[in-house]
Structure 1
Amino acid sequence: MNPAVIDLLNVQLASAQMLLLNAKRYHWTVSGPNFRDYHLRFEELYQAVLPMVDELGERVRALDGIPVTTPQQITAASVVPASDPSRPLKAQEMVAEALASVEAVVAAQASGIDVATAAGDAGTADLLTGFIQVFQKEAWFLRAMRG
């Protein structure tokens, strides 16, 4: 077990879980003009990230690590901040918040690929390479929705 690789995987796992929670918040609370477009986009973001959570958790276990699972662990490890439920957001603010989160994940994934490669862990580097492509596409979709 390489602690640096386990740590980077747990950052990815926590960030994906936080992004799921935020995407559902946006999906459930968006309103206003073009509601359906935003509602569906946030659901699509959620659906794109959901399978990654299981893959990341299983990768941590495959490397004899312990995946982050508690709300406290997720909040502490995530590069994605929790969307503040006490602050009502307009649709474009949700898009901006989601885009910033996705871009933070992409940056962490790029760094994680470097760490995994340096550790000789081609499997983790490959996993993150596949995920970074998905997140880059999600960032493109979100940028295209900005007003």
Structure 2
Amino acid sequence: MTTTLQPRLTELVTALNREQANALVLYLNYKKYHWLSFGPLFRDYHLLFDEHSSQVLDTIDELAERSLMIDGKPVADPAKYLPTATVRASEGELSLREMVQEALIAHEVIIAEMHKDAEAATEAGDIGTADVYTRLVQTHQKQRWFLKELLQKGDNLVS
């Protein structure tokens, strides 16, 4: 990329780093939910949270490598992940309903940011980065859909 794009490049790398950090935080949140699932639907939630965590984990490397492809640097120091992320790290004991709600909120944040980030990448002429967001946002949209369905049933099985 040319030096005239340098300010835009910095913005694109900053966004990629944020999404990389968000993915790692969401992955760790999902592992927490997976390990701490309980109740009459334990098996279903245990497996769902594990499946979602694996899908999110797959996105981390792609986001980091995209930063490198556009001459940036990914988030590499573990201590930098939480300050870089806009997704909140899960804390404390949660009910299953709270776990699902917390994950849903994280996906809402990521989806909104990826839409903006895809637009910014397109405006900067970086269709490769825009494509990464376009593909990865679909993972988050599908997981959001599953989580929303769990909360809409009103059958009191999600405590």
TM-score (structure 2 length as normaliser)? 0.88
SS at 1:98's partner residue?
A: helix
Alignment of structure 1 residues 105-124 onto 2, 5 Å: 105-124=110-129
Tell me which stretches of 4 or more aligned residues in structure 1 moved more than 3 Å: none
Determine the C-alpha separation between the residues in 1 that align with 2:99 and 2:25: 14
1:18 touches 1:80 (CA, 8 Å); kept in 2?
yes
Task: Tell me the residue number matched to 1:73.
Answer: 80
CA-based RMSD: 1.1
Confirm whether residue 22 of structure 1 aligns to residue 46 of structure 2. Answer: no
Determine the C-alpha separation between the residues in 1 that align with 2:84 and 2:111: 15
Which of 61, 84, 96 does residue 91 from structure 1 map onto? 96
| Displacement of 1:79 | 1.6
| Displacement of 1:141 | 0.5
| Displacement of 1:65 | 1.1
Task: Tell me the residue number matched to 1:35.
Answer: 42
Q: Structure 2: which amino acid aligns with 1:116?
A: A
| Displacement of 1:36 | 0.7
Task: Tell me the residue number matched to 2:148.
Answer: 143
Task: Tell me the residue number matched to 2:89.
Answer: 82
Q: Which runs of 5+ in 2 are unaligned?
A: 1-5, 155-159
Q: Structure 1: which amino acid aligns with 2:62?
A: E
| Displacement of 1:70 | 2.5
Task: Tell me the residue number matched to 1:53.
Answer: 60
1:18 touches 1:81 (CA, 8 Å); kept in 2?
yes
State which structure, 1 or 2, has the greater radius of gyration over its C-alpha atoms.
Answer: 2
| Displacement of 1:17 | 0.6
Q: Deviations over 1:78-131 (max 9, x none)?
A: 1211001xx211111100000000111001100100110111100000110001
| 16-25 vs 63-72, which moves further | 63-72
| Displacement of 1:72 | 2.9
Task: Tell me the residue number matched to 2:12.
Answer: 5
| Displacement of 1:44 | 1.2
| Displacement of 1:133 | 1.1
1:79 touches 1:108 (CA, 8 Å); kept in 2?
no
Question: How many residues end up aligned between the 2 structures?
Answer: 145
Q: Which has the higher contact order (CA 8 A, sep 6+)?
A: 1
